[in-house]
Amino acid sequence: MSKKKNILVITSWSYNDALIQTYTLPYLNIIANILPNDTKIFLTTLEKNKQPINNNHPKIKNILIDYYPLSFKGLMMWLGLIFKLLRIIKKEKIDTIHCWCTPAGMIGYILSILTGKPLIIDSFEPHAETMVENGVWKKNGFAYRLLFYFEKQLTKRAKYLIATTEGMKSYTKKKYDFQGNNIFVKPACVNLNLFSEKNIKIQVLLDELKLQNKIVGVYAGKFGGIYLEHEVFEFFKVAENYWGDKFRALILSAHSKEEIENYALKSGVNPTIIVHKFVAHHEIPNYIGLGDFGITPVKPIPTKRYCTPIKDGEYWALGLPVVITKGISDDSDIIKKYKIGSVLEELNEKNYLKAIQEIDVLLKNNTRMELYNKIRPIAEKYRNFDIAEKVYKEIYGK
Residue 46 contacts residue 14 (beta carbons within 8 Å): yes
Is 229 among the domain residues? Answer: yes
User: Hey, CA dihedral for 27, 291, 284, 130, is it positive or negative?
Assistant: positive
The whole-number pLDDT of residue 82 equals 95
For the purposes of burial, counting CB atoms within 10 Å of the CB of 354, is it exposed (0-12), middle (13-18) or buried (19 or more)? middle
Is 305 among the domain residues? Answer: yes
* Same domain flag for 269 and 322: yes
* Same domain flag for 203 and 108: no
* Same domain flag for 241 and 338: yes
* Same domain flag for 170 and 265: no
CA 150 to chain centre: 22
* Same domain flag for 126 and 173: yes
* Same domain flag for 117 and 202: no
Is 1 among the domain residues? Answer: no
The whole-number pLDDT of residue 52 equals 82
Per the DSSP assignment, residues forming a β-bridge with 220 are: 252
* Same domain flag for 51 and 158: yes
CA 270 to chain centre: 30
Structural domain for 90, as ranges: 6-189+384-396
* Same domain flag for 201 and 153: no
Is 272 among the domain residues? Answer: yes
Helical H segments across the chain, by residue range: 18-21, 25-34, 72-91, 101-115, 128-133, 142-157, 167-176, 203-208, 230-243, 257-267, 284-288, 310-317, 331-338, 349-365, 368-382, 385-396
Whether pTM exceeds 0.85: yes
The whole-number pLDDT of residue 280 equals 87
Residue 280 or 175, more confident: 175
Q: Which helix (H) or strand (E) holds 123?
A: strand 119-124
For residue range 316-338, what is the model confidence (pLDDT) as tens digits? Answer: 999 999 999 999 999 999 999 99
User: Is the confidence at residue 277, as pLDDT, over 80?
Assistant: yes
Is 238 among the domain residues? Answer: yes
Q: Quote the mean pLDDT of the chain.
A: 95
* Same domain flag for 264 and 137: no
Is 239 among the domain residues? Answer: yes
* Same domain flag for 300 and 341: yes
Is 43 among the domain residues? Answer: yes
For residue range 129-139, what is the model confidence (pLDDT) as tens digits? Answer: 999 999 989 99
* Same domain flag for 349 and 212: yes
- DSSP β-ladder status, 160-163 and 60-66: unpaired
For residue range 88-144, what is the model confidence (pLDDT) as tens digits? Answer: 999 999 999 999 999 999 999 999 999 999 999 999 999 999 999 999 899 999 999
Is 178 among the domain residues? Answer: yes
CATH code where residue 265 lies: 3.40.50.2000
* Same domain flag for 184 and 326: no
Residue closest to 153 by CA, chosen among 131, 121, 181, 185: 121
Check residue 285 and report its DSSP letter.
H
The whole-number pLDDT of residue 3 equals 65
Considering its fold, how many domains does the chain have in total? 2
CA 100 to chain centre: 12
